[in-house]
Amino acid sequence: MYPVCSAQRTLLAFVLIAVSTSPTATQNTIITGSSLSSSSVTGTVTRVSSVVGGEANLPCDSRPPQRNDSLLLVVWYRDDNPVYSYDTRVPGPTGHWSDDTFGERARWVGQPTSALHVQDVQSRDRAIYRCRVDFQVSPTRNYRIALDVIELPSKPVIFDEFGKEITGIAGPYNEGGDFKLICSVNGGNPTPRVQWLQGETVLTTLAAGELHPPGSSRSLTLVVTNATRAHLSSVYMCTADNTLLSPPQRASVKIDLYLRPLSVEILSREQPLSVGRKAELSCRSTGARPPATITWWLGGKQLNSITKEQELDDRNETQSLLQWTPQKEHNGKMLTCRAEHSKFNKSTIESKLPLNVYYVPVASMHLGAKMNPNDIEEGDDVYFGCEVDANPPAYKVVWEHNGVLLQNNPSNGVILTANTNLALRNVSRHQAGLYTCTASNVEGDGKSPPLRMQIVYRPLCRKREVKLIGAALQEPSKVECEVDAFPPPDTFEWTLNNSAGSIKVDPERFTVNAKEGKSVLTYVPVSDIDYGTLACRATNLAGQQMSPCVYTLLPATRPDPPSNCSVYNLTDDSLDLTCLAGYEGGLQCTYIAEVWANEGLVTNSTNGAALWNLRRLGAKRHLKIVVYAANSRGRSEHISFTVETAPRLSPRTEAQEAWEVNWAVGGVLGAALTVAIILCLALIATRLRHRARDYEVTMQSTKNQKASLQKRSSPDDRNPDLIPLSKGIDCPPEPPQYSAVVAKSEAKNSSSCHSLARTQSPTSPVSNVTHDLPNERLNGTLRSHREVVTTRTPLLAAHQESCV
């Protein structure tokens, strides 16, 4: 904490020599208590007390006596040996120096009162120290400080009359008997005072003035005769103290007494219990103080459980709460609550409770009695049995194969009988695996440990497809053949088929790992005729493999380049790239992507697949990406394309976001208000236009109808089945254009607006109407079929219709 360098030690030695040769006389300082004063009395000592492990401030007045003076150096001595110094001419922490006496525990403090602050005071620090203060002008001062280190006594230890240490509870003792408590205290300087107290009452004292050497052991005995119920739970405290600077060391015990139990009873008797669910059972014992020794027993063995005890003074009874988790084997046994006191004639009383414990079914599986689990072949019949132990009895049993529920399906060879038996007819290798049965009752489902059924079958290739393998001339290539079989294969056979025929490979060229079902062939092509098709066959206990594993051996070449590359997740600094891999040349291949800019290579990435994550590309840059593949035979042709990263968006400020929100809200409100005003004006104009049009059309139509009725005869006279249009039907007024058409028709002997052709479509243009009217009148006759039709024309308003 206070490092000391060689230069500082040299400076301290120089200062000591300079001060010793100074002609200035030394002036002593008197320090009495906490006050500092100048005195000519030599040898006055200021005493400072501290406890071991505490802190101490050794005062030393460093205030210059003159205004134009200042502190130069403070040196602390112990037995005329410097132990600490503070040099104001050296800035920072290096101005402090401390030897091994204090180490890092001492520090000079100048404010508010100058003193040497010592932490973690040790007993070895007890000594008389001298503080020498040097000023720039004033003469040197010296102070003598005696540090009294008080060693606290150890915590009292309480023993019984047999010398056994007591912690917490003393006893239990018998009511009416005597007991003795011994308090032992070790250490302490000065010699501590030892006392026995009950509450605030001092029972007995061992004074500190009695002759005992410092640091020795002291004992004080407390004897209590004829213990009564008043002594139950009484607290006796032993204290030891030798200074007012620290509170006394304390140790206390609580007295426990025995009283005879009178009765015991198990209170809660709820049945049934469940395995795994915590049950609480209460047992009450009366007449015993302190609580009787209550134990719980099951099947002649004591339960290893937690028991809570409670004493009720008003009824002189004790209750014990057993928090207990029943187990399956406890079903049908007897639970016993036992209260006893060995100090009172060894009396024991009991209360018993028979147990009914529900538990989850326990299921176990087994093969049929005459079945060998190691000799099940494809086509055999297999039988399983399931044994269930449950309370209450299981109401359902289900079967599973590799976690898949099995259903009764005799047509597929799965037969379930009585829920506890399973038969598999004509098994295949696909039915090998783990079988379990699960039984259910009200407590839950109990699954049996899985039973593995192995079916003996011939080896089969793990990978059915033909694998292409590239091999270079005069270079070894490894070909792996992996098969599935049970039991594992013991032999492998390799053959090479080429233009020269079929050649059996020497067994020395391949290795066999029967446990993993794998064989590795090391093949070295010598010439072009050594290329062809390799076939691998394995053999196990069931026979030789039917279909071999086939590998096509090709000359190793450079790989084909990747194709169909796609860029996605394009940001201002990164992108993801994926391509379709080409032919790898029959060898292990790696894929490389390089990113180039105008100034050179930006980054590159190598991967075992045609997939790359390219980062740190820079924002808004035109980049060229080059992609190619490589294997041990060389590199493929490369493909290249260009991309441009996105620009980096500057973050928006809160003011900009607020302005955008306000502008958007204002725009919406303004648009809504504009639409409302336009709709109101359009509605007003439409109503005014309709009123003027209705009035004009009504007047013109009335005149035309009157003239037409005078020239035409009533249709009722000729055809009584036709309902006249002028009766019962009010024709709404027509627009001026339509009235003009009617008026023109009247000039050609048209009777009224009702003479329009019935074949007129509601969406036909007006021109067709004007052409049909003269033609119909020229015929001089009406159509044989008359009807009333209501139609809309483009000339009419939304609510106006013409009656035809």
Confidence at residue 259, expressed as pLDDT on a 0 to 100 scale: 74
Number of neighbours of residue 46 by Cβ within 10 angstroms: 23
In angstroms, the CA 281 to CA 266 distance is: 7
Residues 6+ apart with CB under 8 A from 721: none
Residue 124 in this model has a pLDDT that exceeds 80 = yes
Q: Which region among 27-41, 129-143, 188-202, 279-293 has the lowest average model confidence (pLDDT)?
A: 27-41
Report, as an integer, the average pLDDT of 591-609.
Answer: 91
Residues 6+ apart with CB under 8 A from 506: none
DSSP state of 634: E
Residue 792 in this model has a pLDDT that exceeds 90 = no
Confidence at residue 438, expressed as pLDDT on a 0 to 100 scale: 94
In angstroms, the CA 532 to CA 399 distance is: 50
Confidence at residue 694, expressed as pLDDT on a 0 to 100 scale: 54
Confidence at residue 796, expressed as pLDDT on a 0 to 100 scale: 33
Q: What is the largest CA-CA distance in the chain?
A: 164
- E-only strand ranges, 514-657: 518-523, 532-540, 543-544, 549-555, 563-568, 575-580, 590-597, 600-607, 611-614, 622-631, 634-635, 639-644
Report, as an integer, the average pLDDT of 531-538.
Answer: 90
pLDDT in tens, 688-725: 887 665 555 444 544 454 444 344 444 344 443 333 43
Confidence at residue 769, expressed as pLDDT on a 0 to 100 scale: 33
Residue 279 in this model has a pLDDT that exceeds 70 = yes
Residue 526 in this model has a pLDDT that exceeds 60 = yes
Residue 264 in this model has a pLDDT that exceeds 80 = yes
Mark 768-778 as b/e (b = at least 16 C-beta within 10 Å).
Answer: ebeebbeebbe
Confidence at residue 691, expressed as pLDDT on a 0 to 100 scale: 67
Residue 765 in this model has a pLDDT that exceeds 80 = no
Confidence of residue 515 (pLDDT cuts 50, 70, 90): confident
Number of neighbours of residue 733 by Cβ within 10 angstroms: 21
In angstroms, the CA 686 to CA 678 distance is: 12
Residue 761 in this model has a pLDDT that exceeds 70 = no
DSSP state of 713: -
Q: 112 or 270: which carries more pLDDT confidence?
A: 112
What is the amino acid identity at position 521? L
- Counted residue by residue, the chain has a size of 804
In angstroms, the CA 739 to CA 735 distance is: 6
β-sheet bridge partners, residue 13:
none
Confidence of residue 222 (pLDDT cuts 50, 70, 90): very high
Nearest CA to 612 out of 594, 599, 631 is that of: 594
Confidence at residue 659, expressed as pLDDT on a 0 to 100 scale: 66
Asked if 397 and 438 touch (Cβ cutoff 8 Å), the reply is yes
Report, as an integer, the average pLDDT of 225-249.
Answer: 88
pTM for the complete prediction?
A: 0.40
* DSSP-derived pairing of the beta strands 396-401 and 404-406: antiparallel
Asked if 627 and 638 touch (Cβ cutoff 8 Å), the reply is yes
Report, as an integer, the average pLDDT of 147-171.
Answer: 91
pLDDT in tens, 23-60: 222 223 323 233 333 333 346 899 999 998 899 999 99
pLDDT in tens, 298-342: 888 888 766 666 666 555 787 788 888 888 888 889 999 998 887
Confidence of residue 729 (pLDDT cuts 50, 70, 90): very low
pLDDT in tens, 610-625: 999 999 888 888 999 9
Helix, strand, coil percentages (3-state) for the chain, rounded to 5, are: 15, 45, 40
Residue 20 in this model has a pLDDT that exceeds 80 = no
Residue 547 in this model has a pLDDT that exceeds 60 = yes
Residue 559 in this model has a pLDDT that exceeds 80 = yes
Residues 6+ apart with CB under 8 A from 266: 281, 282, 283, 335, 337, 351, 352, 353
β-sheet bridge partners, residue 45:
144
In angstroms, the CA 596 to CA 612 distance is: 15
Nearest CA to 401 out of 455, 336, 470 is that of: 455
Asked if 462 and 482 touch (Cβ cutoff 8 Å), the reply is yes
Confidence of residue 656 (pLDDT cuts 50, 70, 90): low
Report, as an integer, the average pLDDT of 150-176.
Answer: 89
Residue 221 in this model has a pLDDT that exceeds 50 = yes
Residue 158 in this model has a pLDDT that exceeds 90 = yes
What is the amino acid identity at position 164? K
Confidence at residue 561, expressed as pLDDT on a 0 to 100 scale: 92
Residue 424 in this model has a pLDDT that exceeds 80 = yes
Percent of the chain with pLDDT strictly greater than 90: 32
Degrees (nearest 5) of the Cα angle 178, 179, 184? 155
Q: What is the mean pLDDT of the chain?
A: 77
Confidence at residue 23, expressed as pLDDT on a 0 to 100 scale: 28
Confidence of residue 398 (pLDDT cuts 50, 70, 90): very high
* DSSP-derived pairing of the beta strands 141-150 and 27-32: parallel
Report, as an integer, the average pLDDT of 434-444.
Answer: 93
What is the amino acid identity at position 104? E
pLDDT in tens, 70-100: 999 999 999 889 999 999 998 888 889 999 8
Q: Which region among 539-543, 574-578, 736-740 has the lowest average model confidence (pLDDT)?
A: 736-740
Report, as an integer, the average pLDDT of 400-418.
Answer: 90
Residue 764 in this model has a pLDDT that exceeds 50 = no
Cα-Cα-Cα-Cα torsion 781, 782, 783, 786, nearest 10 degrees, comes to -160
- 279: tokens are 């049950």
* DSSP-derived pairing of the beta strands 249-258 and 168-174: parallel
Confidence at residue 43, expressed as pLDDT on a 0 to 100 scale: 63
In angstroms, the CA 180 to CA 186 distance is: 20
Q: What are phi and psi of 330, to 5 degrees?
A: -80, -10
